[in-house]
Structure 1
Amino acid sequence: MESLQDIAHQIYQKTGVMTSSKDVEKILSAAAATPHFWEIISLSQKPFSVVAEIIELLRQRNLLKVEKNGDIKFNSKGLEYLGSLKIAPKRTYTCHACEGRGINFSKLEDLIKKFDQVTVNRPKAISDYDQGFVTTQTVVGRIALLAERGDLEGKKLLVLGDDDLVSIAAGLSGMPTEIVVMEIDDRLVEYINEVANKYNLPIKAMKYDFRDKLPEEYVGYFDTFITDPPETIEALEICIGRGISALSKEGCAGYFGLTLIEASLEKWNVFQQILASKFKVVVTDIIHNFNHYVNWDYLLNTVGKQYEFVQVEPKLNWYRSSMYRIETLKDSKGIENEYKPCELYVDEEALIYRGDKA
């Protein structure tokens, strides 16, 4: 059997995603811990296409088999291979109560209950805008994080895209003085405004495409922004750039999620350089796996691999992202130019189907 480095090279040739021997090792460790493909992704925190191709390569090398139900199991040859490399099953010690966020949710029970009651008829996630909203615990965890960092109470909050309905949770908390939602989906704009009117929340939702220039009245207006951007480099740059241009002064904050499932460490490196060099902001926090997403209905219809172990309904909320917090300095600057076209959803690391690779 090939070395881990040889496997990494083959996967790079297949996917175009930079892959190291350590990446392969982490995926093998995750696969040794669970037979469920989507949980392997969650445990390994490596790009979807890389995980899928490594599992398929191991199947072709007769190191594992795929059961009729899609479960992935190492055979005796595969277990011997893992043993020769001293690769053990992935260990996890995450706190069940806070899911690794470090937040005491017992203090947030009222907000959790109220949010679930208010949003029971929320619009479904649709593929048109690559939507997939987070769990209630994630939404409320975001509110707690913003509040704990001093970025919510008495502040003006911008939400750039809001299928997660963070604006409603923030409004129900009673902490921000003003909340503006800029959202491309007409369904969500209408829904958020309806809920705001019904419950007398300080929220205004408006239709907006972040590729467009910000409305003049909102340039330099907000204390805090939060967004969950698409993960091509172009989309990350323009979305976060718009958010930064909406902040009012030094010491303001921006929050956004970034996965390792559709954004490799190579992409993180490129984007962190943009944050530091182009936008001149500081990354103050990266909280691993803070954001947990509810499984979306259209996943298997759009996923970019048709292997039998991929075409299995997830058994857990497997899609997760780390929460970034950035803070502005006196010379920070965002993007204020006119309409800026960019590729939003599709690159070699994307989860969605691209048509050029099976």
Structure 2
Amino acid sequence: MSENFKKLQDKLNLEEGIEGIIDILREIYRNGTNSIKNISRAVKIPIPIVSKVVNSLIEANFLFRNEDGVQLWEHAMKFCEEELGFFGYGIPRCPECDNRPFNITPRIEQLFDILNPIFKDRPIVDTTLDQSKITVETAIQRALYFYNNGSIEGKDIAFLGDDDFSSIAISKLYKIFFPNEPNLIAKSITIIDIDSRILETIKKYIEEDSLKVNILNYDLRKPIPDNLINKFDTIIMDPPYSLNGLKLFLSRGISLLKHPSKYDIKKDIYLSFAHKSQEYTLEFQKFIIDSNLAIMEIIPKFNKYEGSEVLGNITQMIRLNTTMKTKPLINPNEEFNESIYTGETHPYIKKYRCTNCNEILEVGPDRQFETIEILKGEKCPKCQTSKNFELIERNLKLDY
């Protein structure tokens, strides 16, 4: 049938490639029966084009019409599940904001119950690596959003850093649909992180369901191992909030994605990034455009974080698609030697007050405590009891 898809693509010449045909099939599969109009709205392909694809699939005995629209034949459903990796069913989107997917079954609450204790077991953040923890709600919203966009089912997925455990939310997503049938949904999940603590904890919780995940302790500043280049369909990243960090992560993500072809053009990159000034935003959008990536969707205030007062606790979600011209700005075989973490590009000295004895302590580069997490871990050096500190001052370190 994949050869038939190629013939159909040759006949219709969809700008989206075969992935556009698969998106149409996915919408029909998830809803059982669907109208041409609703399919068009969901996949964002014009009605006349959707109609041509549907008519061709009816001629190929893949679909049939009923009074409510079109439906898959049983043998076609089996093909979609076994060959394309389709799984689950449609999830409605919020009618108020038309962005965030949601699930109205009680199982969504069960997923919260499963993830809450896991997320409490996340290693303490290392702020020198720009780590920050998203909320459980955000992790679930991310998983549902990626699923709704067809970026999980049957896909090879790579996380470029995952200190917030989004990969675990994706691995547990089957519990919303068929809770007694453990299924990774994705074809494979690979988590790449510089922090081995993160990787070992993620591996433990995903494999408790007898599901397999690939982990790699790797610094993205180093050249990419050959066995990772052009291997993935979907890249998920929450990079350091610096321009160098964004440039590096985008380049590495592009190099990891499978090569586009006239049949298979669109690959997904999901980028979580801080809300910035218009001048800064222009600069990071230039990286995206210069890489020949297409910005398909921007959802402000999508990600919510625990703490992270510098970020205002929220960041945006940006969905990017590859094109035939997409290219990395940094060669995959090239080592990147510039600073990428905000503590390196904009080192701050912060003053904290102990809430117990009022001792003022400086935290930052070249100080006794490099991060607030280290300070809390060792208690106040004066009273030796308190782990609670109030931020009272934050100044850029100028002598670097």
Question: TM-score, normalised on structure 2?
Answer: 0.56
Larger displacement relative to structure 2 (154-163 or 102-111): 102-111
Structure 2 residue 252 is matched with structure 1 residue 242: yes
Structure 2 residue 292 is matched with structure 1 residue 272: no
Residues 232-267 of structure 1: CA deviation (Å, up to 9, x unaligned): 11111011110111111320000011112xx32212
Q: How many Å separate the matches in 2 of 1:318 and 1:98?
A: 23
Residues 23-75 of structure 1: CA deviation (Å, up to 9, x unaligned): xxxxxxxxxxxxxxxxxxxxxxxxxxxxxxxxxxxxxxxxxxxxxxxxxxxxx
Q: What's the CA shift for 1:126?
A: 2.3
Structure 2 residue 397 is matched with structure 1 residue 355: yes
Q: How many Å separate the matches in 1 of 2:284 and 2:210?
A: 39
2:327 to 330, 333, 340: 333
Distance verdict in 2 for CA 1:99–1:350, change over 3 Å:
farther
Q: Is the 8 A contact 1:172 1:201 kept in 2?
A: no
1:322 to 316, 322, 329: 316
Q: Is the 8 A contact 1:157 1:223 kept in 2?
A: yes
Q: How many Å separate the matches in 2 of 1:238 and 1:109?
A: 37
Q: How many Å separate the matches in 1 of 2:158 and 2:210?
A: 18
| Deviation beyond 6 Å, 4+ runs, structure 1 | 96-100
Q: Is the 8 A contact 1:290 1:322 kept in 2?
A: yes
Query: Which structure shows the bigger proportion of residues in strand conformation?
Result: 2
Q: How many Å separate the matches in 2 of 1:212 and 1:98?
A: 44
Q: What's the CA shift for 1:348?
A: 11
Q: Is the 8 A contact 2:346 2:397 kept in 1?
A: no
Work out which structure has the larger RCO, using CA pairs closer than 8 Å and 6 or more positions apart in sequence: 1
Q: State the Cα RMSD in Å.
A: 2.8
Unaligned ranges ≥5, structure 1: 1-95, 304-316
Q: How many Å separate the matches in 1 of 2:127 and 2:229?
A: 30
Residue in structure 2 matched with residue 211 of structure 1 by the alignment: 221
Q: What's the CA shift for 1:209?
A: 1.2
Q: What's the CA shift for 1:102?
A: 2.6
Q: What's the CA shift for 1:101?
A: 4.8
Structure 2 residue 286 is matched with structure 1 residue 293: no
Q: Is the 8 A contact 2:229 2:256 kept in 1?
A: yes
Residue in structure 2 matched with residue 20 of structure 1 by the alignment: none
Q: How many Å separate the matches in 2 of 1:97 and 1:320?
A: 22
Question: TM-score, normalised on structure 1?
Answer: 0.62
Q: Is the 8 A contact 2:100 2:145 kept in 1?
A: no
Structure 2 residue 248 is matched with structure 1 residue 252: no
SS at match of 2:104: helix
2:341 to 332, 339, 345: 345
Q: What's the CA shift for 1:287?
A: 0.2
Q: Percent identity?
A: 27
Larger displacement relative to structure 2 (281-290 or 115-124): 115-124
Residues 89-141 of structure 1: CA deviation (Å, up to 9, x unaligned): xxxxxxx9999953224343333322224444221212231211101111111
Q: What's the CA shift for 1:273?
A: 1.6
Distance verdict in 2 for CA 1:337–1:98, change over 3 Å:
farther
Number of residues of Structure 1 aligned to a counterpart in Structure 2: 242
Q: How many Å separate the matches in 2 of 1:98 and 1:291?
A: 18
Aligned pairs (5 A) from 1:47-126: 101-107=99-105, 108-126=108-126
